[in-house]
Chain A
Amino acid sequence: MTTATAPVTGALTAPHRLRWLLRLHRPALYVWTAAVVVLTAALLWLGGPLTDAAVHAWRQYDVCRTGATCVYDQDAILRYKDVYQYTTWAVLALPFLVAAWAGAALTGREVESGTAHLAWTQGVSPARWLAAKLAAPAAVAAAGTAVLVALHRWAWLADHGGIDTAKSWSSFETYYANGPLPVALALAGLAAGALAGLATGRALAALAWGMSATLALWGAVHLAAPRLYPAVTRTAGLDHDGPVGSGIVLDSGIVTADGRHLPDPFCGSSAYSTCQALYERIDAVGFFSVYHPRSHYWPLQLLATAPVLAAAALLALAAFVLLRRRTQGKAATA
């Protein structure tokens, strides 16, 4: 039916374009699907049997602490820790995989080899060509990453506090693998890679640029977000072991009588006479900590995710503008 109504110029209809895109990038789709399936399985294993075994081992260990003889399943604890670490880093690596592929294979290679120019002469307008190239991969990358961060969050929560060595919400890898930022970074990586591919016209250079841009965006929001949201300042007496208040700590140390902030000497409570002497000598009156408690998790995540999504949109827009300028320039000189 579509073939009968297709225009004779040979322009491809939307379903055709999608099929052609899928065929061209079938190996990439296979690799991505395999990565998502393997990681899904690993996270289900982590949140299910591995967590149960590790929680059981920690219960055994807690009994040991009071008893004389001690048998506990250390392997279960170590296995949980290893698999947790590997899956967490794998989730965080996904945006870079998308960026590398987008730069190298999506646009860079086609511009390098000239297939892009061929497509544009076959009735596919450059803007449509790029839109088709961005839309389907964006949906696939966002869906895969979203499923995996959700599963990661589920697996991280599965121990219900039963694993003493489980990572805290604020530890770097856990903080990012549990939230929406990897999804936004995957989209930004896709746009950055596509733009780099068009700008350089070389697959490997675009790969490097796409990944670097993704890393730079992550670094920027990592530094900026905790400083854009008001942090909590908490002071505590010197009889505490150190500054009170844990989470994402921006600054902590000692407050002196004249209000100056000094670094934490890591001495401990003033109950120890050596520490008491030290605190008297430097005129300390208490500990302070400037930090984000766990209740700031979602505002902080949104403050990091929103700018990255905006950057993704700007990068995609830049790719369209660049493409139009290039192809118009070509048409004018031709």
Chain B
Amino acid sequence: MSTLLPGLPRAVLRLHRPALALWTAFVLVTVGCLVLVASASDGARSGLTDCTAPGDGCLADPWAIDYGSLLGTVGGLTSLGVWAVAAWAGGALIGRELESGTARLAWTQGVSPRRWLATGLALPALALTTGSAAVAAVFQWAWSSHQDLTADEWATTGAFAARGPALAAYTLCALALGALTGLLLRRQLPALGASLALTVALGQAMAALRARFWPTATLHDGQHLSPHAWQPSGHGPAYHPASHFWPIHLVETGVVVTLAALATAAAFAVLRRRTA
């Protein structure tokens, strides 16, 4: 089957088969965790006796009480996945090939540097987007199947990005930052470190800026704050109702995709200057 692929993509695929297997395993494990948590909560919910919500006098299972934080933990796992992508892209995908000279060898074998980088990025991007889309779809399904058991966890780093296209945006940005640092530093370990540090810093910066991506709502007199409302610290009494999730999520996706595009363009520019 792989003989149907032309030479360069086949080479990239063969070289990074362990990474592809790891990524597939990661996607499957994450999806498995989500299905497990959601179905265990189904069971816990049917076990609730004489009550509509945890806390009003029912025998509740911890699975039902902690649903939001359990999903937040799975969301944290996806953040680790994004970090791993950054480390791999900087270290193994680009940095090692430049350090060992295999990249230079490829360029003398009729593969132009541009095509080398384009293929090296396009195939991983395809796998990463597909995997992220699958995880995000199942995450959103798990979230919406017991949304009433969650509180303001929708705004926390783990659960926020994992529920939509922002997850794919973050993985692609990690890939692009890895390519850029790999081309700039040309050594696997420094590139791995720099790429990882940049990706972690990006996530921290986005978490700090997130509350500003959409105008906040204010509480009117006599109105009660819903348990799903998110009150970001440092914003006084202003809050974001849960309905602000999608607007904020889409703005954040746009910002991260833009950064990914800029990093990719910069990577190609660095490559051209190096090989000119």
- Among A55-63, A274-282, A296-304, the stretch in contact with B: A274-282
Contact of A267 among B18, B57, B65, B188 (CB under 8 A): B57
Whole-angstrom CA separation of A104 from B234 in the bound complex: 42
Given contacts A78-B233, A204-B91, contact A262 B188 (CB under 8 A): no
User: Which of B61, B91, B189, B233 has the most chain A CB atoms closer than 10 A to its own CB?
Assistant: B189
Residue B25 lies at the interface, judged by CB distance under 8 Å to chain A: no
When distances are taken between beta carbons in the complex, the residues of chain B under 8 Å from A265 are: 57-60
Given contacts A204-B91, A204-B92, A204-B96, contact A266 B60 (CB under 8 A): yes
Min CB distance, B260 to chain A, in Å?
23
Evaluate contact between A275 and B59: CB separation under 8 angstroms. no
Min CB distance, A187 to chain B, in Å?
22
Evaluate contact between B91 and A263: CB separation under 8 angstroms. no
Evaluate contact between A104 and B233: CB separation under 8 angstroms. no
Whole-angstrom CA separation of A274 from B188 in the bound complex: 64
Residue A203 lies at the interface, judged by CB distance under 8 Å to chain B: yes
Whole-angstrom CA separation of A207 from B54 in the bound complex: 44
When distances are taken between beta carbons in the complex, the residues of chain A under 8 Å from B138 are: none
**Closest residue on chain B to residue A205 by CB atoms:** B18
Please classify the interface of chain A as helix (H, G, I), strand (E, B), loop, or mixed, using the class held by over half of its residues: helix
Residue A99 lies at the interface, judged by CB distance under 8 Å to chain B: no
Write the residues of chain B forming the contact surface with A, with a CB cutoff of 8 angstroms. Answer: 18, 50, 54-62, 65, 88, 91-92, 96, 188-189, 192, 233-234
Write the residues of chain A forming the contact surface with B, with a CB cutoff of 8 angstroms. Answer: 78, 104-105, 109, 203-205, 207, 262-263, 265-267, 274-275, 277-278, 282
Evaluate contact between A204 and B61: CB separation under 8 angstroms. no
Whole-angstrom CA separation of A76 from B86 in the bound complex: 35
Min CB distance, A279 to chain B, in Å?
9
Evaluate contact between B188 and A263: CB separation under 8 angstroms. no
When distances are taken between beta carbons in the complex, the residues of chain A under 8 Å from B92 are: 204
Whole-angstrom CA separation of A109 from B65 in the bound complex: 48
Task: Sort A-B residue pairs by CB-CB distance and give the 6 closest, nearest first.
Answer: A267-B57, A274-B57, A265-B59, A278-B57, A204-B92, A204-B91
When distances are taken between beta carbons in the complex, the residues of chain A under 8 Å from B50 are: 278
When distances are taken between beta carbons in the complex, the residues of chain A under 8 Å from B54 are: 266
**Closest residue on chain A to residue B50 by CB atoms:** A278
When distances are taken between beta carbons in the complex, the residues of chain B under 8 Å from A278 are: 50, 57-59
**Closest residue on chain A to residue B91 by CB atoms:** A204
User: Which of B57, B92, B233 has the most chain A CB atoms closer than 10 A to its own CB?
Assistant: B57
When distances are taken between beta carbons in the complex, the residues of chain A under 8 Å from B96 are: 203-204
Interface contacts beyond A104-B189, A207-B192, A266-B60: sample of 14 additional A-B pairs, CB < 8 Å, sorted by A: A104-B192, A109-B189, A203-B189, A204-B91, A204-B192, A205-B18, A263-B61, A265-B57, A265-B59, A266-B54, A266-B55, A267-B56, A267-B58, A278-B57
Evaluate contact between A263 and B62: CB separation under 8 angstroms. yes
When distances are taken between beta carbons in the complex, the residues of chain B under 8 Å from A266 are: 54-55, 60, 65
Whole-angstrom CA separation of A265 from B192 in the bound complex: 48
When distances are taken between beta carbons in the complex, the residues of chain B under 8 Å from A274 are: 56-57
When distances are taken between beta carbons in the complex, the residues of chain A under 8 Å from B62 are: 263
**Closest residue on chain B to residue A81 by CB atoms:** B233
